[in-house]
């Protein structure tokens, strides 16, 4: 760690020479909406926020959303299947529970599922993304549940000007084929952006195939001078295999291959549809009312098979689950950008209502000296009500005070029906209320820099299947909501034309953090946890043609306070699946119509999940390198890339046994190639 910091200091000092004529590489004038649910300049946001543009996504050669985040400081990716399905993003060191603590939004609309699966990152095609805003740190005040670690807001593309058609095609290793076609434009008071795309791959491992199809639309119309109507709609459908884990020891002794599937028949499918309506009314020059409504309908199906022998007698089992999720959202918001006395002031107030009825129908059987059938039906509705307000006040032109507050109620209504054993059927109702608070001071010490300090209190409610086991009907009545506080100190600065960057220090503590206890097979509360760390990003214009980006993250996530897990005190132990160190670098060289990119990412070692006792060996750290070269001429662009250039063998995900020293791994892909072609033309 100290060697890395020393290297960064040396690079900083080396960059303090004569500036170049180009624009600074770190953009402080980007417009972001995630910090306060209204447009603001990046340097006026009191948090560590990164903006990833569509051009930057294209330069990465990203085929799915998970490809976008790999090199971002303070962000780590994890995948069960090795593809974008069943993948998750972790920020601030939440490990296994990251899907429930990182909130994903599409233009401000929540897309996290109310169960433990979190957000489905496969449902958002990258060709539809205009930019991504990564907000690190508690965002409970503005967005409520699931935002303990931060929020990621995906802004969709809009149309403008003359009709424009963009055709894209990506082909690569593992029989990967990703075509897309978009049409966009605008005429007077109407704009549109339409996209159709698909994704097809056999995957790196056996039974890792994934097929996806998407249709998206984004429309806007101004029927009156002070009235705007926005309509977004999307359809997503996929089918995928679930290869399961590979025993680490079997990989070492050569009895298994990284590409093997331990569950060669397990598979699942998803269909996800949504429509999002927003009416924006300009009540006055400095008063804007937004009334949003959304509906989502998601169907899923999963099939699991297993077999074996017991004292020479064969046995088999099979089960299937059919799930349905609906989400109704209503999100009115008013923004008043009006001076208070003679001081600049922006006040935001809103109400969030989400109702999510879910149904899970499971059935199966176990064959062993006969057949034992099972069939259950779980109906669970989670309803969220939240009222929030945020005051952004400028006592001086270069000083901003930001104060926000939210009160939030979550209600659960569940029934569980066991058709085989009716006596196990149950019903449950519960509700709870929590508050969130945020206060910050942001000093704009120049037009090219700012420094901030932010204190925030947040919360997380249990997901539906943390509270109620949809397989057994067991209700965890003593499971409490998670609460915590966090402090961030950070700065962004473009001191010279050739250098810019950011640095954030953070510390947080949680009470009653929700986790899965692998020893009791139940969801429980940690007494206390704490996290602290450093997130830094530096960008250099080495010459007019060479750009260099360096990022480093140090994250310490530990149990805090005397606490017993399996009769063992884990005070001071590391929280599993959280690497302490992450280092990334990206060098880009432009010449004529070519751009060459080389990206290297180091992820440190970490304990596998279910190893709260820290008595297994760690998953080893790994370094991956990606290379791509692109050529652009008028409306045509070609990009060739190599992922995992050095053919590193690694696994993002591992699960430790609670009864032995065994660890199950989910191997990530080795070296693979892709070619992407894009052609754009106007009509």
Q: In 43-202, which ranges are continuous DSSP H helix?
A: 54-60, 98-101, 140-143
pLDDT band at 474 (very low <50, low <70, confident <90, very high): confident
pLDDT band at 2 (very low <50, low <70, confident <90, very high): very low
Asked if the model's pLDDT at residue 17 lies above 80, the reply is no
pLDDT, position 674: 96
Higher pLDDT, 355 or 78: 355
Q: Which of 496, 451, 532, 344 is nearest to 45 (CA)?
A: 451
User: If you average pLDDT over residues 444-450, what whole number do you get?
Assistant: 90
pLDDT, position 149: 95
Q: Phi/psi at 467 (nearest 5 deg)?
A: -80, -40
Check if the beta carbon of residue 528 is closer than 8 Å to that of residue 560: yes
- Supply the DSSP symbol for 465: H
User: If you average pLDDT over residues 653-680, what whole number do you get?
Assistant: 94
- Supply the DSSP symbol for 386: E
Q: Is the dihedral of CA 136, 140, 141, 143 positive or negative?
A: positive
Asked if the model's pLDDT at residue 372 lies above 70, the reply is no
Q: Which of 163, 267, 277 is nearest to 218 (CA)?
A: 277
pLDDT band at 132 (very low <50, low <70, confident <90, very high): very high
- Condensed to tens digits (0 to 9), the pLDDT of residues 606-641 reads 999 999 999 999 999 999 999 999 999 999 999 999
Check if the beta carbon of residue 114 is closer than 8 Å to that of residue 465: no
CA distance 110 to 331: 11
Least confident of 6-15, 195-204, 316-325, 396-405: 6-15
Kindly report the average pLDDT of the chain as a whole number.
90
pLDDT, position 313: 62
pLDDT, position 8: 43
Half-sphere exposure of 570 (CA within 13 A, CB side): 24
User: If you average pLDDT over residues 391-409, what whole number do you get?
Assistant: 96
Check if the beta carbon of residue 350 is closer than 8 Å to that of residue 332: yes
pLDDT band at 312 (very low <50, low <70, confident <90, very high): low
CA distance 620 to 607: 9
Asked if the model's pLDDT at residue 63 lies above 90, the reply is no
Check if the beta carbon of residue 411 is closer than 8 Å to that of residue 383: yes
User: If you average pLDDT over residues 407-427, what whole number do you get?
Assistant: 91
User: If you average pLDDT over residues 153-165, what whole number do you get?
Assistant: 94
Check if the beta carbon of residue 131 is closer than 8 Å to that of residue 646: no
pLDDT, position 459: 97
- Condensed to tens digits (0 to 9), the pLDDT of residues 418-446 reads 888 888 889 989 999 999 999 999 999 98
- Condensed to tens digits (0 to 9), the pLDDT of residues 197-227 reads 999 999 999 999 999 999 999 999 999 989 9
pLDDT, position 587: 95
Least confident of 9-18, 125-134, 320-329, 355-364: 9-18
pLDDT, position 11: 41
Least confident of 76-80, 275-279, 400-404: 76-80
pLDDT, position 315: 59
> Which neighbouring-strand residues pair with 583?
552, 602
Asked if the model's pLDDT at residue 151 lies above 70, the reply is yes
Check if the beta carbon of residue 455 is closer than 8 Å to that of residue 486: yes
Distances (CA, A) of 566 to 31, 467, 521, 570: 49, 21, 11, 10
CB atoms inside a 10 Å sphere around CB 510: 25
Kind of pairing between the strands at 102-106 and 150-156: parallel
Scan for tokens 């985040």, then name that residue.
Answer: 69
- Condensed to tens digits (0 to 9), the pLDDT of residues 22-40 reads 355 567 778 888 888 998 9
Q: Which of 558, 548, 550, 471 is nearest to 508 (CA)?
A: 558
Q: Which of 482, 567, 578, 470 is nearest to 524 (CA)?
A: 482
Asked if the model's pLDDT at residue 21 lies above 50, the reply is no
Structure tokens at 195: 């996209």
- Condensed to tens digits (0 to 9), the pLDDT of residues 542-553 reads 998 999 999 999
Q: List the CATH number of the domain containing 642.
A: 2.40.170.20
Percent of the chain scoring above 70 in pLDDT? 94
Higher pLDDT, 188 or 175: 175
Residues of the domain holding 223: 2-682
Q: In 102-158, which ranges are continuous DSSP H helix?
A: 140-143
User: If you average pLDDT over residues 94-114, what whole number do you get?
Assistant: 93
Which DSSP helix (H) or strand (E) runs through 5?
A: helix 2-14
Structure tokens at 614: 């820290």
pLDDT, position 16: 36
pLDDT, position 415: 93
Scan for tokens 């959202």, then name that residue.
Answer: 329
Q: Pseudo-torsion of CA 515, 516, 517, 523, nearest 10°?
A: 90
pLDDT, position 13: 38
CA distance 83 to 78: 10
User: If you average pLDDT over residues 546-572, what whole number do you get?
Assistant: 92
Q: What does the angle CA 387 – CA 505 – CA 394 come to, to the nearest 5 degrees? A: 50
Supply the DSSP string of 347-370, one letter for each residue: EEEEEEEEEEEEEEEEEEEEESSS
Residues 6+ apart with CB under 8 A from 341: none
> How much is the pTM?
0.93
Question: Which stretches of 497-621 are assigned E, i.e. beta strand?
Answer: 499-517, 522-541, 546-559, 564-565, 568-569, 581-591, 594-603
Per-residue three-class SS string for 16-55:
CCCCCCCCCCCCCCCEECCCCCCCEEHHHCCCEEEEEEHH
Q: What does the angle CA 313 – CA 314 – CA 316 come to, to the nearest 5 degrees? A: 145
Asked if the model's pLDDT at residue 105 lies above 70, the reply is yes
CA distance 117 to 548: 36
CA distance 674 to 65: 16
Domain count, the chain: 1
Asked if the model's pLDDT at residue 682 lies above 90, the reply is no
pLDDT, position 254: 93
Asked if the model's pLDDT at residue 4 lies above 60, the reply is no
Q: Pseudo-torsion of CA 539, 545, 546, 547, nearest 10°?
A: 20
User: If you average pLDDT over residues 490-495, what whole number do you get?
Assistant: 90
pLDDT, position 421: 86
pLDDT, position 311: 61
pLDDT, position 375: 85
Structure tokens at 448: 């090219």
């Amino acid at each position: 760690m100290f060697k890395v910091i020393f290297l960064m200091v040396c690079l900083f000092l080396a960059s303090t020479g004569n500036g170049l004529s180009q624009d600074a590489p770190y953009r402080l004038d980007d417009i972001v909406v995630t910090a306060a649910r209204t447009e603001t300049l990046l340097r006026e946001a009191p948090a560590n926020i990164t903006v990833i543009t569509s051009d930057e996504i294209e330069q990465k050669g990203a085929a799915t959303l998970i490809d976008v985040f790999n090199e971002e400081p303070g962000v780590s990716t994890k995948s069960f299947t090795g593809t974008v399905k069943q993948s998750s993003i972790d920020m601030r060191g939440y490990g296994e529970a990251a899907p429930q603590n990182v909130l994903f939004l599409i233009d401000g609309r929540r897309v996290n599922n109310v169960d433990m699966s979190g957000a489905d990152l496969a449902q958002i095609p990258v060709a539809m993304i205009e930019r991504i805003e990564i907000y690190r740190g508690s965002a409970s005040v503005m967005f409520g549940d699931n935002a303990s670690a931060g929020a990621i807001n995906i802004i969709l593309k809009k149309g403008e000007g003359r009709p424009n058609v963009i055709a894209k095609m990506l082909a690569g290793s593992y029989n990967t084929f990703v075509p897309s076609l978009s049409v966009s434009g605008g005429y007077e008071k109407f704009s549109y952006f339409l996209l159709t795309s698909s994704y097809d791959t056999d995957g790196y491992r056996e039974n890792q195939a994934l097929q996806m199809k998407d249709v998206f639309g984004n429309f806007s119309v101004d029927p009156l001078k002070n009235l705007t109507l926005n309509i977004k709609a999307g359809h997503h459908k996929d089918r995928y295999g679930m290869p399961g884990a590979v025993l680490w020891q079997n990989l070492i002794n050569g009895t298994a291959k990284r590409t093997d599937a331990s569950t060669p028949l397990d598979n699942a499918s998803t269909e996800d549809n949504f429509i999002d309506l927003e009416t924006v009314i300009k009540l006055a020059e400095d008063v804007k009312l937004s009334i949003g409504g959304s509906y989502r309908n998601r169907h899923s199906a999963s099939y699991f098979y297993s077999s074996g022998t017991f004292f020479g007698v064969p046995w088999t089992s099979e089960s299937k689950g059919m799930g349905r999720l609906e989400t109704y959202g209503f999100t009115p918001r008013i923004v008043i950008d009006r001076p208070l006395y003679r001081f600049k002031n922006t006040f935001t107030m809103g109400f969030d209502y989400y109702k999510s009825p879910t149904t899970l129908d499971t059935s199966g059987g176990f064959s062993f000296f006969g057949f034992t059938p099972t069939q259950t039906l779980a109906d669970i509705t989670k309803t969220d009500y939240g009222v929030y307000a945020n005051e952004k006040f400028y006592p001086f032109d270069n000083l901003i005070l930001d104060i926000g507050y939210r009160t939030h109620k979550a209600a659960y209504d569940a029934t569980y029906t066991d058709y085989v054993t009716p006596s196990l059927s149950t019903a449950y109702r519960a509700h709870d209320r929590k508050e969130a608070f945020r206060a910050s001071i942001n000093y704009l010490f120049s037009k090219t820099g700012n420094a901030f300090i932010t204190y925030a209190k947040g919360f997380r409610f249990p997901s539906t299947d943390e509270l109620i086991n949809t397989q057994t009907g067991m209700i965890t009545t003593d499971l409490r909501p998670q609460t915590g506080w966090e402090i961030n100190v950070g700065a962004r600065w473009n001191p010279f034309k050739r250098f810019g960057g950011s640095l954030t220090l953070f510390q947080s503590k949680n009470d009653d953090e929700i986790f899965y206890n692998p020893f009791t097979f139940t969801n429980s509360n940690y007494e206390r946890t704490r996290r602290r760390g450093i997130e830094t990003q530096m960008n250099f214009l080495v010459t007019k043609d060479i750009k260099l980006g360096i990022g480093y993250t140090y994250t310490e996530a530990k149990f805090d306070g005397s606490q017993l897990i399996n009769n063992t005190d884990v005070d001071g132990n590391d929280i599993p699946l959280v690497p302490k160190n992450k280092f990334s670098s990206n060098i880009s060289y432009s010449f004529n119509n070519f751009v060459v990119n080389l990206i290297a990412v180091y992820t440190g070692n970490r304990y596998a999940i279910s190893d709260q006792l820290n008595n297994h060996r760690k998953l080893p750290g790994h370094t991956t390198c990606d290379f791509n070269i692109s050529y652009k001429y008028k409306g045509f662009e070609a990009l060739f890339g190599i992922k995992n250039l050095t053919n590193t063998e690694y696994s993002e995900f591992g699960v430790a046994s609670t009864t032995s020293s065994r660890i199950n791994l989910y191997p990530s892909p080795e070296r693979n190639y892709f070619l992407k072609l894009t052609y754009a033309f106007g009509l």
